[in-house]
Structure 1
């Protein structure tokens, strides 16, 4: 299944003429703009502006609707693909991530807007990176 999902994403990236790289775990990413602020590292609290889509273009969630996403990096609570992706960024960075199900919401979805086995696309901007208080 993972191989099929990676082939599907590769085809999508090619058809959409996206310039993305892939990590060993299967996360596809592009750093649109590298910020000049603090590096995101495990144990830091990161604040993101974000939008999450299905690959068919359906917008599922956004910080415009729900507020910033704030989480402690390396401690779960968000998609593992999002944690992996933000570790490539700094405060002020903008990036796009495409996550296969095993790095997103798995084979069951999120019981709301993301269906089972969904591949999702994140657009993020790192608003803040700070120490845990």
Structure 2
């Protein structure tokens, strides 16, 4: 009887030392969410592009330029004589206003005030950061930013909602070049 009890204890001990087996997933995801999200984004981008191009087509007075960074712009005041534009590490002082595609003001220059910015070293939404790089001191440029280069999916957590294209009139007041090149 002692031997039987000893064999039983050893068998139970060995059986309980077995490593746990991994569970198989109950369902396999095919990546369809990512595919659907990408398709929604393509449609959103295309719809915004069509709206912006319709606005541009109706405005025969201004000479719009298409940026390689995914936005459109035109000069309100252009400086021909100066060739200096902001580079990495330069300090710029600028002011701007923000409106929607219909021209309704979202933020005025008075609300925003003037801003100091170290080029590419501080946080600024993509479109405005890239737009400033095109500007010379004293220039005023109006930019039309699709949502993906503006505030995107999250908005600004205040007045600019999800996926809202915006128009910004930007004045580059001063440019102080970084002398540490």
What is the aligned counterpart of 2:101 among 55, 71, 79?
55
Alignment of 1:86-125 (within 5 A): 86-125=132-171
What is the aligned counterpart of 1:32 among 54, 69, 76?
76
The answer as to whether partners of 1:42 and 1:87 remain within 8 angstroms in 2 is: no
The structure, 1 or 2, with the larger RCO (C-alpha pairs under 8 Å, 6+ apart) is: 1
The answer to which structure has the higher strand fraction is 1
The answer to which structure has the higher helix fraction is 2
| Distance apart, 1:13 and its partner CA | 1.3
The higher radius of gyration belongs to: 2
Extract unaligned runs of 5+ from structure 1: none
Alpha-carbon RMSD: 1.9
The answer as to whether partners of 2:97 and 2:112 remain within 8 angstroms in 1 is: no
| Distance apart, 1:94 and its partner CA | 0.9
CA deviation profile, 1:79-116 (whole Å, cap 9, x unmatched): 11111111111111110100001100001211111111
Extract unaligned runs of 5+ from structure 2: 1-43
Give TM-score, length-normalised by structure 2: 0.66
What is the aligned counterpart of 1:22 among 41, 66, 72?
66
Distance 2:107 2:90 in 1: 23
